[in-house]
Chains A and B, each alone.
Chain A
Amino acid sequence: MGRAWVGSETKDWSLPLRTGVLAGQPSPASDGRGHYVTEADVISTVEETESKGESEEAGDTGDSGEYNVYSTFQSHEPDFDYLKSLEIEEKINKIRWLPQQNASRFLLSTNDKTIKLWKVSERDKRPEGYNLKDEEGRIKDISTITSLQVPVLKPTDLMVEVRPRRVFSNGHTYHVNSISINSDGETYLSADDLRINMWHLGITDRSFNIVDIKPVNMEDLTEVITAAEFHPHHCHLFVYSSSKGTLRLCDMRASALCDKHAKLYEEPEDPGSRSFFSEIISSVSDVKFSHSGRYMLTRDYLTAKVWDLHMDKGPVETYQVHEYLRSKLCSLYENDCIFDKFECVWNSSDSVIMTGAYNSFFRMFDRETGRGVTLEAWRESSKPRAVLRTRRVYTGGKRRRGDVGVDSLDFTKKILHMAWHPAENIIAIAATNNLYIFQDRVNPDALAQ
């Protein structure tokens, strides 16, 4: 890659815990460029946003090495579905930023059932001056009032306000796994295991069902929806992935209900490698359109794949994320790790993809050369200006110093959630309760290698 990733920040998210059981707090970073979301003890989702209007330099923040929590708020409370006798966790499954429409920022957050629209705004002025009391709230003597006073706005310390704007509830019977905002700027979709609904951002009391794969008889159920996303430019296209490893592209122009897909993307299975785990590991855990809108990136348990929208016979690129785990699938099945849902992201120019792995490792692949690197997100390496080391998992051959054996990988340190800044080389990596932000710097040593 010729560049090294410099850790510009590490943040321990233990702080919010002091305020009790706080969960699902979106926490935009202070520079107004990267915004991230965390949950109290385990970060459940991360997303970066691009800010057009502000011009603070990320470099400055990088030099000082500290990102502070921009704002913390409780998005969802634990709830109970009385009709089904089910607990509804407060855990946030996804957040998505809306395209910026004024000085405030808007985001959608969702737990298993309920989607909420939030407004995050800054305020730097405060009204002052009452007629009937002084600023400390003491009531004035009425006889001293001889003229009317209009309040005046005075500058004050910057305050960040987060307010709920809309609550979209009762749209889903099953667990919501994805939300995606349409490029038309007024609608979004939400997907659960069996259905995809379309909502208008301004209307909370109705949504349109656009995909329904629920069989008449639940015993006939063979696959579930795992993720869904709108095309970045064409407001009529969206894609959804399934637990069988397929992608379906739907065209909303064709009909109101998109049960019939426009295209089905599927890789023919190699009969030789078929095993008990084939279906589990082929389940797609995440799907993302490239910024150009030409490609789709998917992640299954062992690989990341790039698909060309014009080619449905199979992926155009396949990257092995941790092929060495193929022989370990049995134990990964026993400890449930095989069901982990890794996310994957594109960089701003679509030339590099990134996805997570175990042992605090995450992987980046350069699409031109096909070469991949393994990087590690851990506290030591993320001191300001520290350069991230590349790591290697020993799988045979000559063992180098620093290589990690497959058996000594820590499967509790998973990197599931991540985000890449939409315009710059800044990434956010969520590793259990830590959020790391790294920034790309041209590094002469790395270039020389």
Chain B
Amino acid sequence: MAGADGDDSLYPIAVLIDELRNEDVQLRLNSIKKLSTIALALGVERTRTELLPFLTDTIYDEDEVLLALAEQLGNFTMLVGGPEYVHCLLPPLESLATVEETVVRDKAVESLRKISQEHSPVDLEVHFEPLVKRLASGDWFTSRTSACGLFSVCYPRVSSTVKAEIRQHFRTLCSDDTPMVRRAAASKLGEFAKVLELDYVKSDIISLFTALASDEQDSVRLLAVEACVSIATLLPQEDLETLVMPTLRQAAEDKSWRVRYMVADKFSELQKAVGPEITKNDLVPAFQNLLKDCEAEVRAAAANKVKEFCENLPEDNREQIIMTHILPCVKELVSDTNQHVKSALASVIMGLSTILGKDNTIEHLLPLFLAQLKDECPEVRLNIISNLDCVNEVIGIRQLSQSLLPAIVELAEDAKWRVRLAIIEYMPLLAGQLGVEFFDEKLNTLCMAWLIDHVYAIREAATCNLMKLVEKFGADWAQNTIVPKVLGMANDPNYLHRMTTLFCINALSDVCGRDITTKQMLPVVLKMSEDQVANVRFNVAKSLQKIGPVLEKITLQNQVKPVLDKLATDKDMDVKYFAHEALSVLELTYPAHD
């Protein structure tokens, strides 16, 4: 008996272990995710001597299994016997750090970084650092790229001799034959610089940075731009000019648009890293050039940064810099030939009004907003409309409303349904800013017209929009303006429009409250249960289920139940099904308990 008892407790673990090599990837994945359970059952000794060796060689599996394994091993220290034995986890993670799939390798590196902290300083030099060296001098570039991410975690905790070796290894990888490794080194350069002593940053890192920033492959050079941000933050201001700026200037004028794009994309970070003086003297002209770049991708990236860049300018002469240097470029971008550039600009341009204040906004920015509101590209107009709130704060929206309305109407009737969908989503926001009066007068008709759009997604968004409007303007407004129109559609000859009434009721019952729902909506829904189209009838059942919680118990019993009972005997299968479902959800199948 005792033996049999033992078997029972072993059984679930035995299944998990066997499923480590099951043919079904889901079962293998499941077992790997429960690796800690297996290790716990095996005990620390057998985990170290049997399980880990097996896992070290199991690198042929699917990516998702390997990814899970790499993640698990990062949390395995206690299961192999604590920090004293943590180095036992290095072999399986080392083999995972050489697989071809980047996400798996990255996860293995992440776990290695994690467990490096659990190594004692001695173990770090005896076990961990040799592994980093092995990876760094591996035959294949995959292992060398993984090594790049490990230097920064061991460097601070090893002796100065080993530190010198690590610096040497990093230097070697920065001039590796394959661009893949140089890219990995370039992307870890900033991180490594942070843990280095300042003298070595100046002597070692700067020369590596300069070399990578003038690499023959632009795919490497563009990564040096990122490193530039971290390196600039580490250096004292007086060294920036000589050590970093020549390289940054060169990158901003690189022959390859991808490098210039990267500079534009990282511009705000660069601006913060180099400080206000250099920004004024160097970055302002550089930014002007990027805004006028010959490649549209670069202009778009720079246009995206216009607001952030202006915000971060030193306050003492911010307005003067913007007005004389930036705004002329922005004006040109408004009529750019490329629509992505214009729409990138449109998404941030409104933000300038808060920086420049009321007078400048009215005099200089308003004409630009108005021009963009009339742009041929709907995305540009949408981006302006979606950012109206910034302008509203500064000059009030009335200044714009004359031009706004035609723009909205045009978007609302755009031939592309995705454009119509996008403008619907901004309706509640617009309604809030324009106020109920303006809305009733100009926009209400549009909102109702969307309910009978021929694209379902638009009708669906339109119902949701109504709900949000009611949340904003209240139930009274709903009762007067939209509920009658919605209910009127219940008699439409088109069954799709009749169904829209039901969908609207589903969305509105909650926000309109019990009174309106019971008095106005419910009678319409109940009447529609006699519709000749089955789709309408089963949607009646669904609607009743949806609005049921808003109604009083007595209404449910006296009005809703008889209708649902009748629908439950409908000749259509789906109608029956949904009627039964509604009855049971609303607990109307049996006499109420109380």
B interface list, Cβ under 8 A from A:
3-4, 6-7, 10-11, 13-15, 17-18, 20-21, 41-42, 46, 50-51, 53-54, 57-58, 60, 98-100, 102, 139-143, 178-180, 183, 216-219, 254-258, 294-297
Whether B18 contacts A131 by the Cβ 8 Å rule is yes
Contacts of A252 in B (CB 8 A): 256, 258
**Residue pair B218, A146 in contact (C-beta under 8 Å):** no
- What are 19 of the A-B contact pairs (CB < 8 Å)? A99-B178, A102-B99, A102-B142, A125-B57, A127-B21, A131-B14, A148-B42, A150-B17, A150-B42, A150-B46, A152-B54, A184-B180, A184-B217, A184-B219, A185-B178, A236-B218, A256-B257, A256-B296, A256-B297
**CB within 8 A of A148: which of B13, B140, B216?**
B13
Q: Known: A143-B4, A148-B41, A185-B178. Is A253-B18 also a contact (CB below 8 A)? A: no
In this complex, the member of B3, B100, B142, B178 whose beta carbon has the largest number of chain A beta carbons within 10 angstroms is B100
| Complex contacts, A146 vs chain B, CB 8 Å | 3, 6-7, 10
State which residues 104-157 of A face B: CB under 8 Å: 104, 106, 119, 121, 123, 125, 127, 130-133, 142-143, 145-153
Bound together, the chains give a CA A333 to CA B525 distance in angstroms of 75
The CA of A161 and the CA of B59, in the complex, are separated in Å by: 13
What is the distance, in angstroms, from A259's C-beta to the closest C-beta of chain B?
13
User: Does A442 touch B at the CB level, under 8 Å?
Assistant: no
Select the residue from A101, A142, A255 with max chain B CB neighbours within 10 A: A101
The 6 closest A-B pairs by CB, nearest first: A253-B256, A131-B14, A150-B50, A184-B219, A185-B180, A102-B140
> Which residues on the B side are within 8 Å of A147 (C-beta)?
10
As a 0/1 sequence over residues 333 to 368 of chain A, the CB contacts with chain B under 8 angstroms (1 = contact) are 000000000000000000000000000000000000
A153-208 CB contacts (< 8 Å) to partner B: 153, 161, 165, 183-186, 202
Contact A145 B14 (CB under 8 A): yes
Chain A contact residues: helix, strand, loop or mixed: loop
The answer to the question of A72 belonging to the interface, with a C-beta cut-off of 8 Å to chain B, is no
Q: For B180, give the chain A residue with the smallest CB separation.
A: A185
Q: Are A186 and B42 in contact (CB under 8 A)?
A: no
Interface string of A253-274 (1 = CB under 8 A from B): 1111000000000000000000
Minimum Cβ distance to chain A for residue B413 (Å): 28
A residues 235-264 in Cβ contact with B at 8 Å: 235-236, 252-256
Extra pairs beyond A150-B51, A256-B296 (18, CB < 8 Å): A52-B139, A102-B140, A102-B142, A131-B10, A132-B15, A146-B6, A148-B10, A148-B14, A151-B54, A161-B60, A184-B217, A202-B102, A235-B217, A235-B219, A236-B217, A253-B257, A256-B257, A256-B297
Interface of A toward B, CB cutoff 8 Å: 52-53, 99-104, 106, 119, 121, 123, 125, 127, 130-133, 142-143, 145-153, 161, 165, 183-186, 202, 233-236, 252-256
Q: Give chain A nearest CB distance to B92 CB in angstroms.
A: 13
Q: Which of A102, A123, A130, A235 contacts B179 (CB 8 A)?
A: A235
Q: Which residues of B contact A235 (CB under 8 A)?
A: 179, 217-219
Tell me if A236 and B14 are in contact (CB < 8 A).
Answer: no
**Contact in complex: A142, B178 (CB < 8 Å):** no
Docked complex Cα distance between A413 and B50 (Å)? 59
Q: Check if A145 sits within 8 Å of B15, measured CB to CB.
A: no
A143 to chain B, nearest CB (A): 6
Q: Which residues of A contact B10 (CB under 8 A)?
A: 131, 145-148
A101-B141, A146-B3 given; A256·B295 CB < 8 A:
yes
| C-alpha spacing A235/B17, complex, angstroms | 47
Across the interface, do A153 and B295 meet the contact criterion of CB distance under 8 Å?
no
Candidates A99, A150, A183, A256; contact of B217 at CB < 8 Å: A183
Give the shortest distance, in Å, between B156 (CB) and chain A (any CB). 30
A58 to B: closest C-beta gap in Å: 20
- Residue among A121, A150, A184, A253 with the highest chain B CB neighbour number at 10 A: A150
Q: Which residue of the partner chain, among A119, A121, A255, contacts B295 with CB atoms under 8 Å?
A: A255
Q: Return the chain B residue nearest A126 by Cβ.
A: B21
Give the Cβ gap from B142 to chain A, nearest Cβ, in Å: 5
A131 touches B60 (CB 8 A): no
Answer whether A104 and B100 are a contact pair too, CB < 8 Å, given A145-B10, A184-B219, A235-B217.
yes
Q: Which residue of B lies closest to A100 (CB)?
A: B140
Complex-state Cα separation, A143 to B179, whole angstroms: 58
Establish whether residues A127 and B54, one from each chain, have CB atoms under 8 Å apart when the complex forms.
yes
For B6, list chain A residues within 8 Å (CB): 146
Instruction: Name the B residues within 8 Å of A100 (CB-CB).
Output: 140
Nearest Cβ in chain A — how far from B365, in angstroms?
30
CA distance A149 to B29 in the complex (A): 19
Return chain B residues, CB-CB under 8 Å to A130. Answer: 18
Q: A254 vs B18: C-alpha distance in the bound complex, in angstroms?
A: 57
Query: Smallest distance from the beta carbon of A191 to chain B beta carbons, Å?
Result: 21
* Chain A, Cβ-Cβ closest to B4: A143
Roughly how many angstroms separate A132 CA and B11 CA in the complex, as a whole number? Answer: 8
- Return the contact of A253 from the options B20, B21, B100, B218 (Cβ within 8 A): B218
- Chain B contacts for A236, CB-based, 8 A: 217-218, 256
In the bound assembly, the distance between CA atoms of A131 and B50 in angstroms comes to 14
Q: Which residue of chain A has its CB nearest to the CB of B98?
A: A102
Nearest-neighbour CB distance to chain B for A54, whole angstroms, equals 11
Which B residues are in CB contact (< 8 Å) with A233? 216
